[in-house]
Structure 1
């Protein structure tokens, strides 16, 4: 089934259209001069929609790390649900690069339609 089969070509021709450069989850660094540096998060953080993040120094190295959770079960009829996320820990090194870990490597598992982390 195609999107035209669901909505009809006429409705699609008269609908609002958006454009984007990426659907990736990204890290945006404020460079302090009114500009931002945008960098894609590691591939393992792209498996599903990210809904919330907990920023904390998880490995006691003095750098703030990111524990991210997500998934999206409720969506339009033509969009399959996003359910591949189980939580991902992004450890930050001194150069602001991320090492991604998940599952048994971090002892954290959040697989459902998770919206908030505390």
Structure 2
């Protein structure tokens, strides 16, 4: 009712798309749903094409999520077949399992382990999810040690000295004269915190 676009999350099943939202939640945004489906049982079996007209579907924007993984993209140039420059393309790399536990909102790239190789630090979590998806808060933040070849390995939080279980949104790193990295962490509805990362073999 506020004029903004709201996504309708759907899931595929046997060639059709079914809404994830329960009837009452969808009807609170689209009152005609309650009239078309006065009972919950018919709605539970309804596909998107049963709920919306062809005109409605054609006027909407349909986006298809192929993956929900947290990934990083390597920008590479393939060898040229002639005298010109090679073709620019991306190689997709999946980050370790520990980064897939919750949404990632910020990734910081720096040498946190002091070995001269680029590492990654991730933060995230989402408390604002609706009742259909629940809270997504299983992440405590992740330090990923880089091998210098594009691979990353999770460093346990107790070893990294980093713990961010909040709804973290942003962070910045400041390198001290000692070579240590001080991290400033900003989270929703939480005080700003700082961390001194420690690396233990």
TM normalised by structure 2 equals 0.53
Higher strand share: 2
Instruction: Note if contact 1:4-1:12 (Cα within 8 Å) is conserved in structure 2.
Output: no
Question: 2:155 is matched with which residue?
Answer: 101
Does residue 54 (structure 1) correspond to residue 99 (structure 2)? The answer is no
Query: Is 97-106 or 20-29 further displaced after alignment?
Result: 97-106
* C-alpha distance after superposition, 1:48-80 (max 9, x if no partner): 110112211011222111111000111233221
- TM superposition shift of 1:87: 0.6
RMSD over equivalenced CA pairs, Å: 2.1
Instruction: Measure, in 1, the Cα distance between the counterparts of 2:53 and 2:22.
Output: 7
Aligned to 1:3: 21
Higher relative contact order (CA 8 A, sep 6+): 1
The offset of 1:106, in angstroms, is: 0.9
Structure that is richer in helix per residue: 2
Secondary structure of the residue that 1:31 maps to in structure 2? strand
Q: Is the 8 A contact 1:86 1:102 kept in 2?
A: no
TM alignment of 1:1-118, pairs within 5 A = 3-5=21-23, 6-7=25-26, 8=33, 10=51, 14=56, 16-32=61-77, 33-118=87-172
Contact conserved, 2:70 with 2:100, CA < 8 A, in 1?
yes
Q: Which of these two proteins has the greater Rg computed from alpha carbons?
A: 2
How far apart, in 2, do the equivalents of 1:46 and 1:79 lie? Answer: 16
Work out the CA distance in 2 between the residues paired with 1:71 and 1:102. Answer: 18
Per the normalisation by structure 1, the TM-score is: 0.87
